[in-house]
Structure 1
Amino acid sequence: MILDNLPVAVPRQKVDRMGEKSHERGFQVGFKGTFEGKSVLQRKEKSYFINNHLNFKVMYHEDLEARTARVAGFEVTPLSSINHEYNKWDEENTKLTTCKHGKPTVFGTNSVPQEIVAHNEVVFTYDVTFESSNIRWASRWDSYLHTNGDQIHWFSIINSLIIVLFLSGIVAMIIMRTIYRDIANYNQLAQDEVQEETGWKLIHGDVFRPPENSSLLCVHVGTGVQVFGMSLVTLIFALVGFLSPSNRGGLMTAMVLLWVFMGLFAGYSSARLYKMFKGTDWKKMSLKTSLMFPTFLFAVFFVLNALIWGEKSSGAVPFGTMFILVLLWFGISVPLVFVGSFLGYRKPAAEDPVKTNRIPRLIPLQPWYMSPLISIPFGGILPYGAVFIELFFILTSIWLNQFYYIFGFLFIVFAILIVTCSEITIVIAYFQLCTEDYRWWWRAYLTSGSSALYLFLYSIYYFCSELEISKLVSGILYFGYMLIGAYAFFVVTGTIGFLACLWFIRKIYSAVKID
């Protein structure tokens, strides 16, 4: 329920703070339990109570100079299973003997709640009281946004960031020192010509050989650039206050529009990579870039929305909105992808630092710890560790109907995620090249992208530990939307790691002397 764009909330008194009042968004429709004495005990017995009377309190702030008043608060106190009485039912003018006109309803504290059983008649009622408040209209959201500001939240995030920054610093220092020593040794060996090439320099003739399914890799990189650009700009807008929780739907609208217009960068980046792989059919590749990821999202979203339609829920997206989304997709996003691909393909291809041999080199037997089944899942642990604490609060705001507003911390976590994805991918790719395995293209993308697997596994744990969902349709909705989120997280983290690894490998092979 919303009044003057302010959601209704139940006032709560915090125990750990001196008299500070917070709000819990919305109210419970009912509960399951048993009544003993003057208290309701939450038990597993199938006794149901329903909040069929609502005490609304509308708080207003008066502006004495303008002689006006504005809504500063909207609270509700639900009362459980009131057994309303009346003399005669009239559809237009029923007079209840349990409610008196002009007086707030206060029963329910001393009376026994009526248990709801099959075929019971339930009468829903409400009353409204108005109360003057010192809270100004500009500050009326403070009590809502302070609901989640517990100290555990802040200390957990700070602790996580410190650990990730410390690990990232160690990894960066080790890699930089190792690389500088290798380059110095290789250049010295090139001058002395007393030893043969070893390690990553030995495979310089194969390291830039195009991978298998190169067009699919280009599509995923372009899609990752599109989602990354959308996420970054959305975070910046939210950080400066353009996407406040008070603006209902503003965050989702901004994300959809930014994703549509970021199609230009998706087409450009995928075309540049495709030309570096010496691809020729750039139009087909552009079509895949504009259709693959959105088709998956739209197919899952349409199925989930059809389930909501089947349940006759008001939360279903109307057909008109679905048509507008399809129109934005094919009318703006797809043409922008082709424009970006055309601009990117017109530019000359990036020249490789070293020449590629015609005959592929034989890859030696790899150590067990460099197996893709081990190194790829291991590489996703650190990026996931950078976001898993913040992920809990994001899931809570989505599925438990709470507000998320700490966009400053979220922006820092996003920056740390970029650093960790880049560094862990570079580390594993470097060790792979040192074992003379030049098939790094897909490995680099999947290494950091595997963090999405842990995200989805955590969503399963969150479903079992935090949510109380028993209906099949509700469970399908949860895992369907989490699958979309995990896939988007996969393309973003995979693209970050891949582009960082590409830059790193081009740098080290351009720094050594190759005969």
Structure 2
Amino acid sequence: MGAMRFVAAAMSLWICFGIVGVASDASDHRYNAGDPVPLYANKVGPFHNPSETYRYFDLPFCSPEHPNEKSEALGEVLNGDRLVDAPYKLDFRVDLDSKLVCKKKLTKEDVAMFRSAVTKDYYFQMYYDDLPLWGFLGKVSREGKTDPSEYKYYLFKHIHFDILYNNDRVIEINANADPNALEDITEDKDIEVEFLYSVKWKETNTPFEKRMEKYSQSSSLPHHLEVHWFSIINSCVTVLLLTGFLATILMRVLKNDFVKYAHDEESAEDQEETGWKYIHGDVFRYPKNKSLFAACIGSGTQLFALTIFIFLLALVGVFYPYNRGALFTALVVIYALTSGIAGYVATNFYCQLEGTNWVRNLLLTGFLFCGPLFLTFSFLNTVAIVYSATAALPFGTILVILLIWALVTSPLLILGGIAGKNSKVEFQAPCRTTKYPREIPPLPWYRTTAPQMVMAGFLPFSAIYIELYYIFASVWGHKIYTIYSILFIVFIILLIVTAFITVALTYFQLAAEDHEWWWRSFLCGGSTGLFIYGYCWYYYYARSDMSGFMQTSFFYGYMACVCYGFFLMLGTIGFRAALFFVRHIYGSIKCE
């Protein structure tokens, strides 16, 4: 209990410090008339490629000689934020009309750079008193022409800021380009551009506490909520029909089996057994590659705990819109602090399976998920470095993550493994296992592993299919997802459907006298992760406008890691449900 209290306290401190680290420089957000308000330029990039972002001053904007960069928390850096003082001065409640930022001489190379950015729909992002604002760099004028070589390209050179305030607090800000202030950048030639900006302040009655609500309103519009609730109702009906169907079938079939086996015991003790009772001496025979199997169960349990903690933080309002880096900070910190769960569960289960090399099992558990994630990150970070994108992590941030892994994740993993080894819990099997395994009878093709995985993954995926689009549009687009309560309900439905379909397929497997159900139940439970990855291909080509090698590699690379995590987590859920079911049915009959 003392160790659990320590972990809980450490988790609370890490989360608090990690998330508080993203607060504004102006800590109380209160200003007097004429006071400077912090305005940071964050990044620029193609609108349809959210991962491909660059530093604001990578483009030849007006900039001071030594722009002051804002120190950032871990989550902000992981999110690709690189905040630097913006060239605009927006003092509190000070109206400005066409103030000159600078006269900038653009070379041919600068013009070509801006034209390329306008062609790719580049946008910029800034933060004003921790409020996000966006704008496009320019526009393309086609004027009915179909030949791209005849298009006209224009750069916006005048930005107007509309700012709302309530007493001494900033409530809202919007940035709009003046459509009449354009600079023609169609041709490669040296030009001089006057960059201008203007500011208009207006009073509002909106309280400071509700200033972030406008960013979450799009996800809670009536038609969006209608679709969300339709998704929930559809999933609930699926769950009710599935669970009712399976419960009815399994209860009726099992009841008949129990009656049949009881009658067989009374009538003829030497009568040959058939069905799932026939393999009672093999059903609890330990699986092949039990060290890997135990590592999968341990890693899946840790990822399940991580997901639950993230949902708890989301439901209490920690991840409000544009709380920069809070989610990434929480993911890193909670994953590090839950590594002890993976070590304990994996080693404890491995020892229950009479494994002897628990140290190797612990190492395998530690690298089972982190290993592929690290390799993927190394490749994608190299791609980001080649592109000079903000997604490339600085050396200092990489060092911090390695220190967290070395000083927090690894020690907790080892402590959990030692605790799991010393718990001395024996595997609970209601039947004795025979010395030699029975031969598995030939099975039709649809009872093999691959078809069973397809059947097992389709129903859980169909229950979450509608909600997946909104999640993808938030993670890989510019939509905002804030209805975490609905997402949590969908997650619970996913777990229930996964457990029930795995139990059903396990019963049919045992009824066919196939006793190698351990790995099968894990693979069937985790197969939903493969369906989600298949949905990635559909979303990329049919529902998004992402393009380019960097964005494509980031999308498929990191989604592969996410789906692999879902595979481990849902595989663990499926196996645990199947294990509970198998123990129950074999504990309910008399086995010699």
User: Please, what TM-score do these two structures have when normalized by structure 1?
Assistant: 0.84
Which residue of 1 is the match for residue 176 of structure 2?
77
Deviations 1:241-267 (A, max 9, x none): 233235221122112111111111111
| Matched residue, 2:48 | none
Cα distance in 1 for partners of 2:435, 2:551 equals 55
Give the letter aligned to residue 422 of structure 1: A
The match for 2:136 is 28
Instruction: Determine what percentage of the aligned residue pairs are the same residue.
Output: 33
Residues 83 and 348 (structure 1), Cα distance of their counterparts in 2 relative to 1, 3 Å cut? closer
Residue 294 (structure 2) pairs with residue 224 (structure 1): no
Match of 2:539 among 462, 472, 494: 462
Name 1:2's counterpart in structure 2: 127
Query: Partner residue of 2:442?
Result: 365
Partner residue of 1:356 out of 433, 458, 467: 433
- Whether the 8 Å contact between 2:282 and 2:438 is mirrored in structure 1 is yes
AA partner of residue 451 (structure 2):
I
Matched, 1:175 2:256: no
Partner of 1:128: 199
Matches within 5 A, 1:295-334: 295-334=371-410
Q: How many angstroms apart in 1 are the aligned matches of 2:275 and 2:505?
A: 14
The Cα of 1:318 is off from its aligned counterpart by: 1.7
Report SS of the residue matched to 1:126.
strand
Comparing 426-435 and 325-334, the one that deviates more: 325-334
| Secondary structure of the corresponding residue to residue 447 of structure 1 | helix
Question: Which residue number corresponds to residue 497 of structure 2?
Answer: 420
- Contact 2:336–2:405 (Cα < 8 Å) also in 1: yes
Superposition map of 1:131-210 within 5 A: 131-150=202-221, 151-152=223-224, 153-170=227-244, 171-193=246-268, 195-210=271-286
Displacement after TM superposition at 1:305 (Å): 1.5
Q: What is the correspondence of 1:82-101 to structure 2 with a 5 Å cutoff?
A: 82-83=181-182
Q: Is the 8 A contact 1:230 1:255 kept in 2?
A: yes
CA distance in 1, matches of 2:406, 2:251: 45
- 2:528 is matched with 451
**Contact 2:232/2:489 (<8 A) preserved:** no
SS at match of 2:490: helix
2:362 paired residue among 286, 305, 312:
286
Paired amino acid for 2:188:
A
Indicate the larger mover: 357-366 or 51-60.
Answer: 51-60
Q: Distance in 1 between matches of 2:436 and 2:321?
A: 59
Report the Cα offset of residue 484 of structure 1: 1.2
Compute the displacement of 1:437 (Å).
Answer: 0.4
Shift of residue 451, structure 1, vs aligned partner: 1.1
Per-residue deviation, 1:231: 0.4
Tell me the equivalent position of 1:491. Answer: 568
CA distance in 1, matches of 2:301, 2:180: 54
Whether the 8 Å CA contact 1:53–1:78 is kept in 2: the answer is yes
Match of 2:339 among 263, 270, 276: 263
The 3-state SS of whatever aligns with 2:443 is: coil
Shift of 1:184: 3.4
Structure 2 gaps, min length 5: 1-125
Aligned to 2:316: 240
Q: TM-score, normalised by structure 2?
A: 0.74
1:378/1:333 Cα in 2 relative to 1: closer, same or farther (>3 Å)? same
Relative distance call for 1:190 and 1:43 in structure 2 (3 A) is farther
Structure 1 residue matching 2:251: 3-state secondary structure: helix
| Distance in 2 separating the partners of 1:30 and 1:471 | 21
Asked whether the equivalents of residues 339 and 413 of structure 2 are also in contact (C-alpha less than 8 Å), the reply is yes
Q: Determine the structure 2 residue equivalent to 1:505.
A: 582
Residue 554 of structure 2 is aligned to residue 429 of structure 1: no
Report if aligned partners of 1:203, 1:438 keep a CA contact under 8 Å in 2: yes
Equivalent residues of 1:447, 1:497 under 8 A apart: yes
Q: SS where residue 27 of structure 1 aligns?
A: strand
User: Does the alignment pair 1:409 with 2:514?
Assistant: no
Cα distance in 2, alignment partners of residues 231 and 381 from structure 1: 22
Trace 1:52-67 onto structure 2 (pairs within 5 A). 52-62=157-167
The 1:461–1:79 alpha-carbon spacing in structure 2 relative to 1, beyond 3 Å, is farther
Q: What code does the residue aligned with 1:352 have?
A: A
Residue 147 to residue 219, structure 1, CA distance change in 2 (3 Å): same
What amino acid sits opposite 1:437 in the alignment? D
CA contact (8 A) 1:203 1:436 kept: yes
> Once the 2 structures are TM-superposed, how far is the Cα of residue 488 of structure 1 from its aligned partner?
1.0
The 8 Å contact of residues 353 and 427 in structure 2, kept in 1 or not, is answered as no
Do 1:81 and 1:115's aligned partners in 2 also have CA atoms closer than 8 Å? no
Relative distance call for 1:125 and 1:495 in structure 2 (3 A) is farther
RMSD of the TM alignment (CA)?
2.3
> How many Å separate the matches in 2 of 1:444 and 1:59?
57
* Structure 1 residues 42 and 277: alpha-carbon distance in aligned structure 2, compared to 1, 3 A threshold: farther
Once residues 348 and 461 of structure 1 are traced to their aligned partners in structure 2, the CA distance between those partners, rounded to angstroms, is 46
- Superimposed CA distance per residue, residues 135-194 of structure 1 (whole angstroms, 9 cap, x where no aligned partner): 111111221101122424324323332333223322233223332332233233223336
1:386: how far off?
2.1
CA distance in 2, matches of 1:334, 1:183: 48
Instruction: Supply the AA of the counterpart residue of 1:233.
Output: F
Determine if contact 2:155/2:182 at 8 Å carries over to the other structure.
Answer: no
Q: Residue in 2 aligned with 1:98?
A: none
| Ranges in structure 1 where 5+ consecutive residues have no aligned partner | 9-25, 63-68, 85-113
Moved more, 160-169 or 389-398: 160-169
Residues of 1 paired with 2:156 and 2:503: CA distance? 57
Paired AA for residue 128 in structure 2: L
Q: CA deviation at 1:394?
A: 1.0
CA deviation map 1:54-113 (0-9, x unaligned): 221111112xxxxxx1111111213458345xxxxxxxxxxxxxxxxxxxxxxxxxxxxx
- Contact kept, 8 Å, 1:49 with 1:81, in 2: the verdict is no
Cα distance change on mapping 1:196 and 1:300 into 2, 3 Å: same
